[in-house]
Amino acid sequence: MAPAIATMRRAGVPAKTLLVGVPALLALLLSLHDLTSLLPPNLWWTALTAPDISDPAQLLYRYAFLPRIAASILAGAALGLAGALMQHVLRNPLAEPTTIGTNAGASLALAAATLYAPWLLAGGREAVALAGGALATLAVFALARGRNFSPVSIIVAGLVVSLTFGSASALLMALNREYTEELFIWQSGSLVQNGDAAIGSLAPPLLFAIGAAFLLLKPLRLLDLEDDGAASLGARPAIIRLAGMALAVALSALVVAEVGVIGFVALAAPALARLAGARRLVQRLILAPLVGAALLWFTDRLVQELSFAAEVPAGTATALLGAPLLLFLLPRLRSAPQAQAVPAPSARWTRPWLPLAIGLIALALAVAVAIGFGRTASGWHWVLSADLPELLALRTPRVVVALAAGTLLAIAGTLMQRMTGNPMAAPEVLGISGGASFGVLTLLVLSDGFDRTAMLGAALAGAAAALAVVMLAARRNALSPERLLLAGVAVATVASAFAALLLASGDPRMDFLLAWLSGSTYRATTADAVTAALVAAVVVAAAPLTARWLDILPLGETTARGLGLRLERTRAVLLALTALATAMATLVIGPLSFVGLMAPHLARMLGLRRAVPQLLAAAILGALILVAADWAGRTLIFPWQVPAGLLAAFVGGPYFMLLMWRGRQ
């Protein structure tokens, strides 16, 4: 887009005009093409003002086609304005409802109300969505407060809150499978309309928000100054920011309430407005809504024209476009790196074998409980000896898969944290699990079966590609922790959007995909268990061989080179080992889990600081977490089940937030 705008400028064409006009013109042409195919032009006015209820084409035209166009334009404009306000108020070019958690909070609140408290929706969904979005946004600001609300800290906090609320939403879907498809499509952002209700709900608030934004224009301009300078002119920066954020959050929640989560339009519209030369706030407040409206209208029409993507939710399509834009904007985020604090170890063991021995005993007991203790219609009980052979055949593959996956993710997380010096690094957070899932999903699109060997190769290739993208995107900033996280979320977004694309396609393997994406061991086979166990054994044996590197790398690049490390080769070996561990774990347990984040921290909190003890302790703890999660998911709400990876993620999200909260003090 930037080169195209530059070309237009050289040609003397107003970039602002073409930025809105080109996508709007293309969307109009596509709309006219579809309208002509649906209904003859001579009936358009009649069908609009007095449709013939006996003619299905006129009913579709009046109550589905035209309202969908209007909803896409209104929702795009609202998101463009919300993004422009957020980015200006927070002085952050990456701020938007998706990256700061507002959309995730609104979506979770609406899903929970729909399933468990539908009476809350009697007066409309807007109030519930606003409450959820406001709560999530407040959580983000609470986590970022200790770092003076720096742009990077707000985005990182937003990603943490989005992951946590997203895990909770996925858990609700897993517990209510009869509504899974409807919830999934709605949470992915659907512009399908059945009347004018969305238009009536979106248009008046949007007009009010535009008017309010221009009334706040003069105070908002003062935010370009430092807070002290603005205060010296009689302004109250905190109040101005609160007013601007309240307006943006309200617009975002309104869009979620009406059409679901439409991601990244609020990021793209202000960014493209700036690239087109809109430097002044008033220009961005005018241009960003127009760009947002044109972008969403054009994206929705384009998706409808592609036969293979006709059923793709609009939010999925915008995510596929927005994630690469996030990677493009990442190097332009100006902020000094902020180190994340790590909880101090509560003890330091002079004999590290003792906690390791205790951990192994606990793991053995957990495995015994997972296999032999459970719940049936008659209550809790231990397995009788007569039933043991049959249950061993059913439960052992699941337990072994959970054990191996927990071990692999924990070792991968430990390797990444020590290699990058980033205590928030983990395969799930940095997009490595997402890359592995992208590889598997790509293979499923290109083939008809479930060849496990090919799937492992695809997962390995996807994980390696994701690692390369993340490292390259963050390398310009010396692998700063926050840049790694932001690059990782962009990769993970592409993977999740691609998964949504496949799920929306009506693929007959949808049940398998939903279970796998949630981190389920339901379909674990003996072959899966054997393969995962063998790979885990190889990784556990190989990881301690890198101990010297892992002890030196956290000291910094200069020290590492001074001690004779060949960093390129060292990192390549560690990345390869991380990719192998992540690929295998993702293949058998799915991409949704926080074990790779939690286990290394828990090992460090036990006082195990050296590389080998931490690796082994993390492996034991990771295995223990997933074995326990698999057992709990299988028994706590019997006869229903919760995927092990999803349950671990639901616990891991709040733990992630706790780490940030402790780090702010």
Do residues 432 and 578 lie in contact, with contact meaning Cβ atoms separated by under 8 Å? yes
- DSSP state at residue 543: G
Select the more confidently predicted residue: 209 or 18: 209
pLDDT per position as a tens digit, 46-75: 888 888 888 889 999 999 999 999 999 999
The pLDDT of residue 285 is: 92
Do residues 102 and 246 lie in contact, with contact meaning Cβ atoms separated by under 8 Å? no
Those residues whose C-beta lies under 8 Å from the C-beta of residue 87, and which sit 6 or more positions away, are: 93, 94, 95, 96, 270
The pLDDT of residue 621 is: 93
Which residue is it, tokens 């409309």? Answer: 124
The pLDDT of residue 13 is: 42
The pLDDT of residue 407 is: 95
How do the domains of the chain map onto residue ranges? Answer: 13-43+53-329, 353-433+520-663
Do residues 531 and 452 lie in contact, with contact meaning Cβ atoms separated by under 8 Å? yes
Which tokens is 268 given? 């793209």
Q: Give the CB-side neighbour count of residue 447, counting CA atoms within 13 A.
A: 13
Handedness of CA 481, 483, 484, 486 (dihedral sign): positive
pLDDT per position as a tens digit, 123-175: 778 888 889 999 998 888 888 776 656 666 777 778 778 878 877 877 777 67
Q: How far is the C-alpha of 521 from the C-alpha of 589, rounded, in Å?
A: 6
Which tokens is 101 given? 């958690």
Question: Which pLDDT band holds residue 112 (cuts at 50, 70, 90)?
Answer: confident
Burial call 535-569: b when 16+ CB within 10 Å, e when fewer: bbeebbeebeebbebbbbbbeeeeebeeeebeeee
For residues 400-410, give the mean pLDDT. Answer: 93
The pLDDT of residue 510 is: 63
How does the average pLDDT of the chain come out, rounded?
A: 79
The pLDDT of residue 151 is: 62
Nearest to 152 by CA among 343, 329, 271: 329
For residues 599-628, give the mean pLDDT. Answer: 89
Those residues whose C-beta lies under 8 Å from the C-beta of residue 486, and which sit 6 or more positions away, are: 94, 152, 155, 156, 159, 326, 330, 333
- DSSP state at residue 194: S
Q: How far is the C-alpha of 90 from the C-alpha of 85, rounded, in Å?
A: 8
Please report which helix (H) or strand (E) contains residue 197, including its range.
helix 197-215
> Cα 110 vs. chain centroid, distance in angstroms?
18
Q: How far is the C-alpha of 399 from the C-alpha of 376, rounded, in Å?
A: 18
In terms of CATH, what superfamily is 13-43+53-329? ABC transporter involved in vitamin B12 uptake, BtuC (1.10.3470.10)
pLDDT per position as a tens digit, 343-381: 444 445 567 788 888 989 999 999 988 888 877 767 777
Span 353-433+520-663 CATH architecture: Orthogonal Bundle (1.10)
Question: Which pLDDT band holds residue 535 (cuts at 50, 70, 90)?
Answer: very high
The pLDDT of residue 479 is: 52
The pLDDT of residue 240 is: 84
As separate numbers, helices (DSSP H) first and strands (DSSP E) second, the chain gives 29, 2
Q: How far is the C-alpha of 585 from the C-alpha of 405, rounded, in Å?
A: 4
pLDDT at 538 > cutoff 90: yes
Do residues 19 and 276 lie in contact, with contact meaning Cβ atoms separated by under 8 Å? yes
Percent of the chain with pLDDT over 70: 80
Question: Which pLDDT band holds residue 180 (cuts at 50, 70, 90)?
Answer: low
pLDDT at 620 > cutoff 80: yes
pLDDT at 12 > cutoff 60: no
Those residues whose C-beta lies under 8 Å from the C-beta of residue 354, and which sit 6 or more positions away, are: none
pLDDT at 499 > cutoff 80: no
The pLDDT of residue 1 is: 47
The pLDDT of residue 364 is: 92
pLDDT at 505 > cutoff 80: no
Strand partners, 375: 380
pLDDT at 323 > cutoff 80: no
The pLDDT of residue 94 is: 74
Which residue is it, tokens 């674990």? Answer: 524
Question: Could you give the 3-state DSSP secondary structure of residue 348?
Answer: coil
pLDDT per position as a tens digit, 415-453: 988 887 777 777 877 777 878 888 887 887 777 766 777
The pLDDT of residue 312 is: 66
Q: How far is the C-alpha of 412 from the C-alpha of 423, rounded, in Å?
A: 13
Least confident interval from 117-126, 333-342, 639-648: 333-342
Nearest to 140 by CA among 95, 83, 195, 87: 95
pLDDT at 18 > cutoff 60: yes
pLDDT at 391 > cutoff 80: no
HEC profile for 555-602? HCHHHHHHCCCCHHHHHHHHHHHHHHHHHHHHHHHCCCCCHHHHHHHH
Q: How far is the C-alpha of 614 from the C-alpha of 419, rounded, in Å?
A: 14
Q: How far is the C-alpha of 645 from the C-alpha of 390, rounded, in Å?
A: 25
The pLDDT of residue 382 is: 81
Burial call 26-35: b when 16+ CB within 10 Å, e when fewer: ebbebbeebb
Residue 279: what residue type? R
Highest mean pLDDT among 214-223, 246-255, 328-337, 369-378: 246-255
Percent helix, strand and coil across the chain, each to the nearest 5 = 75, 0, 25
